[in-house]
Amino acid sequence: MLVARPHQRLALSLLLLLLASCSGDPGGSNDKTDARCVTLRDYFITKAWPVLGQRCASCHSLDGLALKRHAKLELQPETYPGFVDTNLASIREMARTEYDDVPLLTLKPTGGNNHGGGVVLEKDSAELEVLRTLVAKVRADDDDDASKCHNAGGDADHVVLQSPEQTLRSASLVLVGKLPPQSELDAVRAGGEAALGKAVDKLMTDEAFYARVRELFNDLLLTDKYYGSTQRAIGTINGNYVKADIYDPWWTGLSNADKTKHNDAVAREPLELIVHVVRNDKPFSEVLTADYTMVNPYSAAIYGAKVAFDDPSDADEWKPAKLTQTYKGENVAIPHAGILSTPMFLNRFPTTPTNRNRHRARVVYKLFLATDILRIAERPIDPTQSTAYNNPPREDPACTTCHTLIDPVAGAFQRFSHYDMERYEPNAAWHKDMFGPGYGAETMPTSDYGQALRWLSSHVVKDPRFVISVVHNVYELLMGRAPLTYPRDQSVPDYQARIAAWRAQDAVLGKIAKAFRDDDENFKTAVRELVLSPLFRAANAAPDMSDDEKVVVGDVGRFRLVTPRALDRKIRALTGVRWESTGGTGYLTSTYRILYGGIDSDAVVARLGQPNAVMAAVMKRMANEVACKATAFDFTKAKDKRLLFPAVDVDTEPEGADAEAAIKANIKHLHARLLGEQLADDSAELAATYKLFVETYKEGLGALADGSAKEYMTYWCRARWDWDQSGAPLALPKERFIEKDPRYVLRAWRAVITYLLSDFSFLYQ
C-alpha cells in the first residue's frame, strides 16, 4: 500500500500561476477589477458564452433551425475543439454589422431585423448588456494582450514550480526512463531555464525516447494487440501480399523465432512510421499524409517490397517503402496515406458491410481532430421515430447531425474491403444511400476516389483541430488524463472557478499549439513546451487557499500513477536491479502488467489511473522484493560505484563513531535518488526515516539475540548474482558474496528501501 510520510504535502495541480489575471478571484467576479484587464477571449469565456450557449446555440448550432434557414451566425458547442476561437470568428462579423445603427448581434436577440427566433432577450436584460459589452470589445480590436493587466502574476505565490534540475529529473524519467547524468543536472543548475530547454531537447535524441514514443502512441492506436506473436499480425493480412500466407511452405518452414520477427515487423508498422516522422523532425502531419510506409527486412519479405537493407537480419533497420497488392492477378499500387492505410490500422479499427467505415471515421475524428463525434450532438434518440423515414441517417434530423459529419469521412475508406480489412479494391463504389465522400462543406471530386484517403488526410491536417489534437494527445499521453472540458452546468456553486481552471489550462495548451505549429509541426516541440510549462512543473501549492482556488488547482499538475512499463524502467534506473522472475522476465511487463492497471491493447485498452486493492498488493510485493534484491547487491560494489549506499558500509551501526552522520547522509542520498527530494538536516522526513532504520536495527538485534532471527539472510536477499549483467545473471566471485547479516544492518537498510519504494512520490510521477 502507499506509505504516508510527513513530507507529503498537497499534490499540486495547476493554475493560480496562470490565472494571474487581474480579477480578484479565480472566477473573475470582482466588480472592482480594471475592465482593461479582461481580454476579449476571457470575456467571451466567462461572460458571453454562458449567455450565447444557453440562449442562442440551440438554434444556431450545426443541426439548429437557424442554420437550416441559412443564418449567418453559427455557434459550435463546448465539445467542439477550439470552440472559443471558432465562435469568436463567427461573432466578429455579426458584431461589426449594423441595421439602423444597431449591431446585429444585439439587435437580432431582441426580435429585430426579422429574427426567426423572435424575442430571445429583453432590451433591458443583463444578458443583453453582456452582448453589448462583447460587441464593444470586438470593435475595439482587443488583441487579448494580458500584459495590460495591472496585477499580472499577482497570484504566483500560490504555486511552487519544480526547479530546472527537478524538472529535468522528472522529464528524464518520463521520456527516457532513466536519471539524467550529473553533468546535465549541473549544467541546468548553472544555466537555468535556457539550459533546461536544451537539456529536454537532448533527451529527445536518446534512443529510449523513441521507444517511449512507440509506447505512448500504442495507447491510442492499440496495434500492439498483434505484437509478440508468431502469426497474429500475419494472419490478419493472409493472402493479400506475396508471403503473407501462414499455410505456405515458406512460412511453415520458419522457426518460431523467425515467425515472431516477421509478425512483429508487420505489427509495428504504423508505430514505426510515427517514430520515423518524430526522429527526423518531419512535420507531424506526415503521419497521415506520407505516401509511403515503413518496413524492416522482415516485413519487406512479407510484402515483397524491393528495399535494400544494410543488414538483412537487423529488425531495427526501418526504411520507407511503397507497397503493392495483387488484385485479380495484377499488381496494384496502394495509395498510401500515412498510418491510415496500414494493414494494422485497418484491422485494429475494422468495419462491416453495415457499419460502412463509420467506426474508422469516428476514430479519425477522435485521434486526429480531438473530436468525440458522439458528443457533438448528444441527445436522446427515440428509435420509434426513425420508422417514419426510409433512410434515417440521411432523413431523420435526430440522425443527420452526426451522419453529415461521419459519413463523408467514412467515404474516404471506400476502396478498402468490408470483409478483408486491408484488401484494396480499386474499383469499389461508394454507397448511394449515404452522404457522399468529403470533408466539412467540401465534397470529394469523383476523380479523387482512387486516392480518397490521401484526399482526406490532406484536408484533416489543414483543419485547425489537427494541431489541437496533437497537443491534447501529448498532454494525455504524458499526464495520464485528458485535458479539462468546458464546464456546462451553470447551477453548481463553483461554476466560475471551474471556468477559471478550464480557461487557464486552455490558454497554456493554446500557447503550446502555437509553438508546435510555428515550428513546422515538430512533435518534439510540443513535448518540450509541455515539459517547460506549469502544467508539467507544478509541484506544490499554498495550504491556505480558498475553496474556489482549490477548484482552480484541482486537476492539472496532479500526480499520475506510473504505468507498469514505466515503473519497470524506473526501478531498474534508480535501484540498479529489475523486479523479475527467476527466468528473467520482468513482472511489470508480464505477470503483473494487467493487475497493475496496464493494458494488453486487446481486451484491456484503458489504463487504471487509481490503485485498487490488488494493485496495492502488487505495490507492496514489489517494494519488498526489490529491496531484498538490491540492498546486499549494492554493497558488493566499491563505494564510488554504488547507486544506493555510497556513504555507509555493511558494518556502519548507529552506535559507532560518526555513524549517525554517515547514516543520515545516506538517507538523504536515498531520498534524492529514489524520490527526487533534497532533505534539510532538520527535516521531519529525515528524522522519520532515520528512526525507521534505528528501530528496525534494534529489533533485529533483539531477534538475533533470542534466536528468532538468523545471521543468514533469506536466500533471494543474499548477494550472489551480478545483476548489472544483461541477460541471464552471472554468479559473483565468491569473495564478493554477501550472505550473512550478523548485526542486522542490511535488513535495516532493506526496511528503508522498502519504505521509500512504497512512497507516493516513487509510485506516482
pLDDT in tens, 294-303: 999 999 999 9
Same domain, yes or no: 296 and 366: no
pLDDT band at 157 (very low <50, low <70, confident <90, very high): very low
Same domain, yes or no: 325 and 369: no
Nearest to 386 by CA among 406, 400, 407: 400
Same domain, yes or no: 603 and 681: yes
At residue 556, the pLDDT reads: 56
Res. 75: pLDDT tops 90: yes
Same domain, yes or no: 293 and 258: yes
> Average pLDDT of 62-67?
84
CA distance 574 to 580: 15
Structural contact between residues 17 and 553, judged by C-beta atoms closer than 8 angstroms: no
pLDDT band at 390 (very low <50, low <70, confident <90, very high): confident
pLDDT band at 555 (very low <50, low <70, confident <90, very high): low
Tell whether 344 is covered by a domain: no
Same domain, yes or no: 307 and 378: no
Across 26-35, 250-259, 694-703, 717-726, least confident range: 26-35
Tell whether 6 is covered by a domain: no
pLDDT band at 10 (very low <50, low <70, confident <90, very high): very low
Q: How do beta strands 159-161 and 538-541 pair?
A: antiparallel
Same domain, yes or no: 636 and 757: yes
Tell whether 666 is covered by a domain: yes
Res. 12: pLDDT tops 80: no
Same domain, yes or no: 672 and 720: yes
> Average pLDDT of 740-744?
98
Res. 145: pLDDT tops 60: no
Same domain, yes or no: 746 and 615: yes
Across 40-49, 224-233, 547-556, least confident range: 547-556
Tell whether 128 is covered by a domain: yes
Residue 281 Cα distances to 111, 497, 533, 538, angstroms: 54, 39, 21, 28
Res. 643: pLDDT tops 60: yes
Same domain, yes or no: 247 and 98: no
Same domain, yes or no: 291 and 360: no
Last residue of a domain, one of 333, 367, 388: 333
Residue 680 Cα distances to 280, 304, 622, 647, angstroms: 44, 64, 29, 17
Last residue of a domain, one of 94, 111, 144: 144
Burial class of 249 by CB neighbour count within 10 A (0 to 12, 13 to 18, 19+): exposed
Last residue of a domain, one of 95, 112, 144: 144
Res. 557: pLDDT tops 70: no
At residue 740, the pLDDT reads: 98
Tell whether 215 is covered by a domain: no
Res. 138: pLDDT tops 70: yes
Tell whether 647 is covered by a domain: yes
At residue 542, the pLDDT reads: 64
Higher-pLDDT residue of 726, 486: 486
pTM of the predicted structure, to 2 decimals: 0.91
Tell whether 77 is covered by a domain: yes
Q: How many structural domains compose the chain?
A: 4
Long-range Cβ contacts of 207-211 (<8 Å, 24+ apart): 208/175, 208/176, 208/177, 208/178, 209/175, 209/176, 210/275, 210/278, 210/279
CA distance 601 to 270: 14
Same domain, yes or no: 735 and 601: yes
Q: What is the mean pLDDT of the chain?
A: 90
Residue 538 Cα distances to 180, 503, 712, angstroms: 20, 17, 46
Identify the domain containing residue 359 by its residue range. Answer: 352-460
DSSP type of residue 159: E
> How many other C-beta atoms lie within 10 A of the C-beta of residue 242?
18
Q: At 68, list the grid cell.
A: 437550416
Across 450-459, 662-671, 718-727, least confident range: 718-727
At residue 158, the pLDDT reads: 61
At residue 262, the pLDDT reads: 98
Length of the chain counted residue by residue:
765
Tell whether 465 is covered by a domain: no
Same domain, yes or no: 259 and 372: no
Burial class of 729 by CB neighbour count within 10 A (0 to 12, 13 to 18, 19+): middle
Structural contact between residues 66 and 60, judged by C-beta atoms closer than 8 angstroms: yes
At residue 377, the pLDDT reads: 64
3-state secondary structure of 746: helix
pLDDT band at 7 (very low <50, low <70, confident <90, very high): very low
